[in-house]
Chains A and B, each alone.
Chain A
Amino acid sequence: MKPELLAPAGDLARAKTAIRFGADAVYLGGKRFSLRSRASNFELEDIAEAVRFAKEYDAKIYVTVNMVPHDEDLQGLEVYLLALEKCGVAAIIVASLHIALLSKKIAPAMEVHLSTQLSLTNSAAIETVRRFGVDRVVLAREVSLAQIETISSASSMPLEVFIHGGMCVNLSGRCTLSNEMTLRDANRGGCAQSCRWKYKLYRDQTEISDPNCLFSMSSKDLLAIEEIPTLMKQGISSFKIEGRMKSAYYITVVVDAYRKLIDAIDQGEDEKEAIEKARKMLMKAENRPTSDGFFRTIPGATHHLYGVNGEGITQDFVANVIETHPNGRTSILIRNNLPVHTELDVLSPGNDVRSFTLEAMYRKGEAIEVANLPMEVLDIEIPFRVESGDFIRKKGS
């Protein structure tokens, strides 16, 4: 059976984008009880709308209820769980076994998925968590492909594995670097990513770090395209993309790439070709430098970022399609500087990338040479059919 492709979304627009571009399920956070507090922008009515939209595509919505709560944080939890169930949410993702059991008891229509925050690395631990009503386990990122195979054989529990995105360098759920350095609790959504900061290293009171390349724990992002064929054979239920704080463009590129890769392998197409195609697509996303995580080896120096911190933010993404008019022109929402005569790609769900050259651009009917006001609506001519929400980027960058 084909695994589910599970994508993140920080708001309703990104949830819809992920579903349009082929995610089988989307996970998102409500305004309470979720980690990634800055990526949790969903009111209950947004969640309900996401569920309604997802149903049109036969997709599911999961809601993260994955904070590790203190007593003071628990107020309103039962009401919230019942409201999520009423919205039609398919599952909640939790890091608390108390919340798992509670949800099962009062909102049984929702599945309970156990977060990677519990750092589960073996089948015996999975066996233990069954008693808490867990329906699926998100494995720790510290497991290898070989270990995943053994776990999958030893356990009938549906398993979910991260395949792309940011990685914690420390065991999830057990890190208090942020608590110590900023009084922000990583387990309650406040992680300051202190692991990505720069440190001097001393041995016996003598500095041994290189002043031009200070110590850091920062991890490269995970990129698992080479591992997808193996993971599919191992019967993993769900492939998870990290990134509720990522842009709509990032989500489009990443979801599209993995959707096409999974479908190609499922249909028996050449694996090497499919992987290379996915690799080329993913290079366009705004990733940090990437690695294969723990899949094949214990991470070495090449799995870390020393001296580099942020994502490779590009200016490739230039516009979204709004609508095509009877006169043949298409209104687009400008997102980056765009001069006329630029060669462009269009990303549409279910299609290969299509290209055209921007011959003309119009502001209220007047021809202009360059678009340089973000979020301005302009009209252009595209020589093929496009849909609302399609993404336009500079070609070949």
Chain B
Amino acid sequence: MRLLSILRSIEHMQALKDAGVDGIVLGVEGFSYRSPLYDLEQIKEVVDRAKSLGVSTYLHCNRMLDEEEIIPALTLIQTIDALGVDGILFQDLAYVTLCEQAKANLVRIYAPEAILTSSPEVRTMLENGVDHVMVAKELTLDEVLKIAGENPKKVGVFGFGHLPMSVSRRPLVKNYLDEIKKDRSLADGFGLRLQEEKRAFLYPILEEDKETTIFQDRLFCVLPELTKLQANDVAFVLADDVFVEEGMLTAFIHSAHNRMAQREDDFMERYAHVVTSGYFYKKTNLTKEGN
């Protein structure tokens, strides 16, 4: 089972490699959101350095493409393939067609964050132009293990970070600030939190150029379940550090690497108070009537 991590900066690569990362994921200007953005020159530098360290490189092409972005996306695919990027994680099914048109050697990882919720669905995608998938974040552990077991070494999971709950193509915060006549610049950056008026949770909200994402308040962390995931042929675990305190991401990778090698570590003792198992033990199939 491989450990993948979002690369927050080029300088961070060595630390991640030392911690045991197998692959790094970076955003690219114009085609990614919720990820650190790199231009093509920087991507080349990252790829070259990653190859020297024995680490794979993936681009997080997670934006849904507008029609006028199709040709630029095709150009991007051709360019990054030539640069030696190993693969892409994508949400928009356009990338299946674009990779085929470009005859790209990129590993295609379909990661729509929801939608992939059953073994037949995963199998359907794997048989139709996709090399790997990331299953939906709202699956229970049993569901993940079943799907992964029935599609060995093809299924990845989100393994560390704040789970994104929703993404909008509207500038939700700026629109609200306009309504209450406050400065739009208050929408910028990582300092925003939402609190539903009857609940205590503080949900991070990130407004970018074209997307607004709302995240769960707690940190999702698969460390307690890591060996089960590994035993059921999960292909990879992805870690992200958006809204995460500095150092925790590297600590997670280090801990995950230890656990897979069956070495002891104290990550969960140190961070148990801020991490959660997400939906692993929590089904979300209630109806309005509570059934």
Given contacts A125-B65, A201-B192, contact A190 B286 (CB under 8 A): yes
Enumerate chain A residues within 8 angstroms of B124, measured Cβ to Cβ.
97-98, 101, 132
Enumerate chain A residues within 8 angstroms of B92, measured Cβ to Cβ.
121-122, 125
**Are the CB atoms of B286 and A184 closer together than 8 Å?**
yes
Interface string of A112-126 (1 = CB under 8 A from B): 000001111111110
Enumerate chain A residues within 8 angstroms of B202, measured Cβ to Cβ.
202
Closest B residue, CB atoms, query A299: B170
Give chain A nearest CB distance to B162 CB in angstroms: 11
A171 to B168, CA, bound (A): 6
Give chain A nearest CB distance to B216 CB in angstroms: 6
Enumerate chain A residues within 8 angstroms of B67, measured Cβ to Cβ.
121-123, 143, 147, 150-151, 154
Interface residue ranges, B against A (CB under 8 Å): 64-70, 73, 91-98, 112-115, 117-121, 123-125, 128-129, 136-139, 143, 146-147, 163, 165-173, 175-180, 182, 186, 191-197, 199, 202, 205, 214, 216, 279, 282-288
A102 to B127, CA, bound (A): 14
Q: What is the size category of the interface that chain A forms with chain B? A: 35 or more
**Are the CB atoms of A209 and B180 closer together than 8 Å?**
yes
A301 to B123, CA, bound (A): 42
Select one of B166, B168, B179 contacting A213, CB under 8 A.
B179
**Does any Cβ of B come within 8 Å of A254's Cβ?**
no
Please tell me which stretch of A10-18, A67-75, A281-289, A341-349 contacts chain B, meaning at least 4 of its Cβ atoms lie within 8 angstroms of it.
Answer: A67-75
Enumerate chain A residues within 8 angstroms of B65, measured Cβ to Cβ.
121-122, 124-125
Select one of A125, A142, A175, A194 contacting B94, CB under 8 A.
A125
**Are the CB atoms of A198 and B197 closer together than 8 Å?**
yes
A68 to B69, CA, bound (A): 28
Enumerate chain A residues within 8 angstroms of B177, measured Cβ to Cβ.
208
**Can you name 9 extra interface pairs (CB under 8 A) apart from A98-B123, A190-B285?**
A68-B114, A71-B119, A71-B120, A131-B129, A132-B128, A200-B197, A202-B194, A204-B191, A209-B176
Closest A residue, CB atoms, query B188: A203
Enumerate chain A residues within 8 angstroms of B191, measured Cβ to Cβ.
203-204
Give chain A nearest CB distance to B61 CB in angstroms: 12
| Most B-side CB within 10 Å, residue of A69, A74, A132, A185 | A185
A203 to B207, CA, bound (A): 13
**Does any Cβ of B come within 8 Å of A306's Cβ?**
yes
**Does any Cβ of B come within 8 Å of A377's Cβ?**
no
**Does any Cβ of B come within 8 Å of A339's Cβ?**
no
**Does any Cβ of B come within 8 Å of A173's Cβ?**
yes
Select one of A121, A201, A204, A213 contacting B64, CB under 8 A.
A121
Select one of A71, A128, A213 contacting B93, CB under 8 A.
A128
Given contacts A98-B124, A176-B138, contact A122 B169 (CB under 8 A): no
Cβ < 8 Å to B, chain A residues 274-312: 294, 298-301, 303-304, 306
Enumerate chain A residues within 8 angstroms of B73, measured Cβ to Cβ.
124
A147 to B65, CA, bound (A): 11
Closest B residue, CB atoms, query A148: B67
A318 to B215, CA, bound (A): 46
**Are the CB atoms of B170 and A169 closer together than 8 Å?**
yes
Enumerate chain A residues within 8 angstroms of B129, measured Cβ to Cβ.
128, 131
Given contacts A38-B288, A147-B68, A174-B112, contact A298 B169 (CB under 8 A): yes
| Most B-side CB within 10 Å, residue of A101, A175, A177 | A175
Enumerate chain A residues within 8 angstroms of B199, measured Cβ to Cβ.
181
**Are the CB atoms of B118 and A74 closer together than 8 Å?**
yes
A200 to B124, CA, bound (A): 42
**Are the CB atoms of B171 and A173 closer together than 8 Å?**
no
| Most B-side CB within 10 Å, residue of A118, A121, A142 | A121
Select one of B68, B114, B163, B166 contacting A187, CB under 8 A.
B114
